[in-house]
Amino acid sequence: MTGAASTQKKVKIGLLLPYSGTYGMLGTSVDRGIRLAIEQRGSKLGGRDVEFVVVNSEANPGKAVSNMQKLISAEKVDFVVGPIHSGVAMAALKVARQTGTILVIPNAGLNVATRELCAPNIFRTSFSNWQPNYAMAKPAYDQGYRRIVTISWRYAAGTEHLGGFEEEFKRHGGQIVKQILVPFPSVDFQTYLTEIASIKPDAVYTFFGGGGAVKFIQDYADAGLKGKIPLLSTGFLTESLEGLGNRADGIRTTLHYADDLDNKYNIAFRKAFKDRYNDEAGVYAVQGYDSGLLLIRAMEAVKGDTSNQAALIEAMRKVKFQDSPRGPWTMSKAHNPIQNIYMSEVRGGKNVMVGTAAKALDDPATGCKMAK
Ligand code: PHB
């Protein structure tokens, strides 16, 4: 297609997200965030109308290649925005690398996406699994914790979340007395919680998200561990506190977003989200929103012309996120956010920001040639 022809057709955005299951809420939030950003700017990208093609990934890595092929070969989308799940990301990355389709990852933290498997056509607007977890290690050590049990799901995001924390915690002199991995997406936590109670560590460090996070907090309190063994995590654990009463109180988390971040862009974003969806925004909605900002600004810069991919990618690299609800951030050379990591604590059933754990934190981007 020539430049002129490619500026008249609709821009097609494929959304590869889970809309059901334990990560269903995450996919829905990203979907809402990206649509809100684009609607706020007249529902156009670089002057062109927009069409979304939605595929429910079901957070299922086994279906990821065929789902990607459907969007790319059958639907001929201009961009794929997805996925949420790091296992799905591994497969999506391979297809994006083979086909050259531009992939915008609005959540999945799979470290290699912006390390060894980084590529010009792969961008991430969320975080690497290493980033928020690394940031909790020193505060945990400074709090006096020395013996910690870690627990998560047995898949890339679980092991990478725990790994980011464990490596840095050990470097400070702490000890991981046990690492527990639960099959994904199982939420049968009782036996593991009994084991933790018998080990009596100084603290527990965990990663769970979506429905699994809510269930873990509930089971932790119901097993009598709340108030006895401090619970630390990334903010994904405490994203949804509805129905938990005071069970989550005292949980400390690190994340690249805080609900109550006091900046005018966050306040305006949360209000617009509430007005549009009658629901509270959270980190996943922010990541969807910033994916929208990335596409809006890059498409404006190239005046809607997707035919010159090198120019489009260059425009994407240069986008500034000074007005993101999470605070200002920039895209690293490996195409991953360089961003602040905030510390929050649950008090009275609400996440309350208590400080900044890391300023402008960049992923190490190990093995990414573009980052050199
Ligand atoms: C991931 O699979 O990379 C993942 C999923 C849910 C989260 C964070 C990371 O909340």
Please state at what angle helix 309-318 crosses helix 283-301, rounded to 10 degrees.
130
- Tell me if 367 is assigned to some domain: no
For the CA of 87, the nearest atom of ligand 1 = 2
- Burial label for 56, CB within 10 Å (0-12, 13-18, 19+), is middle
pLDDT digits over 310-359, tens only?
999 999 999 999 999 999 999 999 999 999 999 999 999 999 999 999 99
- Tell me if 320 is assigned to some domain: yes
- Cβ–Cβ < 8 Å for 313, 320: no
- Tell me if 368 is assigned to some domain: no
- Cβ–Cβ < 8 Å for 291, 13: no
- Cβ–Cβ < 8 Å for 189, 182: yes
- Cβ–Cβ < 8 Å for 220, 193: yes
- Cβ–Cβ < 8 Å for 160, 370: no
Do 202 and 351 reside in the same domain of the chain?
yes
Predicted pLDDT at 60: 97
Report the chain's mean pLDDT, rounded to a whole number: 97
Residue indicated by tokens 């990206």: 34
Do 352 and 232 reside in the same domain of the chain?
yes
Predicted pLDDT at 5: 61
With a cut of 70, say whether residue 188 has pLDDT above it.
Answer: yes
For the CA of 239, the nearest atom of ligand 1 = 10
DSSP state of 331: E
Q: For residue 17, what are the domain limits?
A: 3-127+261-331
Which of the four pLDDT bands, split at 50, 70 and 90, describes residue 2? low
Do 57 and 149 reside in the same domain of the chain?
no
Hey, whose CA ends up nearest to atom 7 of ligand 1? Answer: 209
Q: pTM value? A: 0.97
Nearest 5°: the CA angle 362, 364, 369 is 115
Predicted pLDDT at 85: 98
Do 233 and 266 reside in the same domain of the chain?
no
Predicted pLDDT at 1: 54
Do 146 and 233 reside in the same domain of the chain?
yes
Ligand 1: distance of its center to the CA of 317 in Å?
24
With a cut of 80, say whether residue 309 has pLDDT above it.
Answer: yes
Predicted pLDDT at 6: 65
CA distance 197 to 192: 9
CATH number at residue 241: 3.40.50.2300
Do 123 and 135 reside in the same domain of the chain?
no
Q: What is the CA radius of gyration of the chain?
A: 20
- Tell me if 371 is assigned to some domain: no
CA distance 296 to 195: 50
Please state at what angle helix 156-171 crosses helix 130-142, rounded to 10 degrees.
40
State the DSSP string of 155-185. Answer: SHHHHHHHHHHHHHHHHTT-EEEEEEEE-TT
* Contact partners, residue 62, CB within 8 Å, separation at least 6: none
**Phi, psi angle pair for 214, to nearest 5°:** -60, -45
Q: Hey, which of 17, 28, 85, 112 would you mutate to test ligand 1's pocket, going by the most ligand atoms within 8 Å of its Cβ? A: 85
Nearest 5°: the CA angle 284, 319, 67 is 50
Q: Is the CB of 324 under 6 A from ligand 1?
A: no
Ligand 1: distance of its center to the CA of 130 in Å?
11
Q: Hey, which of 236, 237, 256, 283 would you mutate to test ligand 1's pocket, going by the most ligand atoms within 8 Å of its Cβ? A: 236
Q: Is the CB of 208 under 6 A from ligand 1?
A: no
Hey, whose CA ends up nearest to atom 5 of ligand 1? Answer: 85
Q: Is the CB of 126 under 6 A from ligand 1?
A: no
For the CA of 213, the nearest atom of ligand 1 = 10
Do 215 and 229 reside in the same domain of the chain?
yes
Ligand 1: distance of its center to the CA of 243 in Å?
22
- Tell me if 59 is assigned to some domain: yes
With a cut of 90, say whether residue 252 has pLDDT above it.
Answer: yes
For the CA of 59, the nearest atom of ligand 1 = 2
- Tell me if 336 is assigned to some domain: no
- Tell me if 366 is assigned to some domain: no
pLDDT digits over 69-120, tens only?
999 999 999 999 999 999 999 999 999 999 999 999 999 999 999 999 999 9
Do 186 and 244 reside in the same domain of the chain?
yes
Domain count, the chain: 2
Q: Is the CB of 209 under 6 A from ligand 1?
A: yes
Ligand 1: distance of its center to the CA of 119 in Å?
21
Locate 82 and state its tokens: 């997805």
One-letter amino acid for residue 111 of the chain? N
Q: Is the CB of 86 under 6 A from ligand 1?
A: yes
Do 137 and 235 reside in the same domain of the chain?
yes
Hey, whose CA ends up nearest to atom 2 of ligand 1? Answer: 85
Ligand 1: distance of its center to the CA of 158 in Å?
8
Do 246 and 269 reside in the same domain of the chain?
no
Do 210 and 282 reside in the same domain of the chain?
no
Which of the four pLDDT bands, split at 50, 70 and 90, describes residue 4? low
State the DSSP string of 334-368. Answer: TS-EEEEEEEEEEETTEEEEEEEEEEEE----TT-
Ligand 1: distance of its center to the CA of 21 in Å?
14
- Tell me if 184 is assigned to some domain: yes
- Cβ–Cβ < 8 Å for 308, 337: no
CA distance 349 to 243: 9
Do 161 and 288 reside in the same domain of the chain?
no
pLDDT digits over 142-170, tens only?
999 999 999 999 999 999 999 999 999 99
Q: Across residues 58-71, what is the average pLDDT?
A: 98
pLDDT digits over 19-58, tens only?
999 999 999 999 999 999 999 999 999 999 999 999 999 9
CA distances 50 to 13, 209, 236, 284, Å, are 7, 31, 30, 22
- Cβ–Cβ < 8 Å for 355, 323: no
Q: Is the CB of 164 under 6 A from ligand 1?
A: no
Q: Is the CB of 18 under 6 A from ligand 1?
A: no
Q: Is the CB of 85 under 6 A from ligand 1?
A: yes
pLDDT digits over 259-292, tens only?
999 999 999 999 999 999 999 999 999 999 999 9
Ligand 1: distance of its center to the CA of 233 in Å?
13
Q: Is the CB of 236 under 6 A from ligand 1?
A: yes
Ligand 1: distance of its center to the CA of 247 in Å?
23
Please state, for a pLDDT cut of 90, what percent of the chain lies above it: 97
Question: Closest by alpha carbon to 143, among 339, 340, 345, 361?
Answer: 345
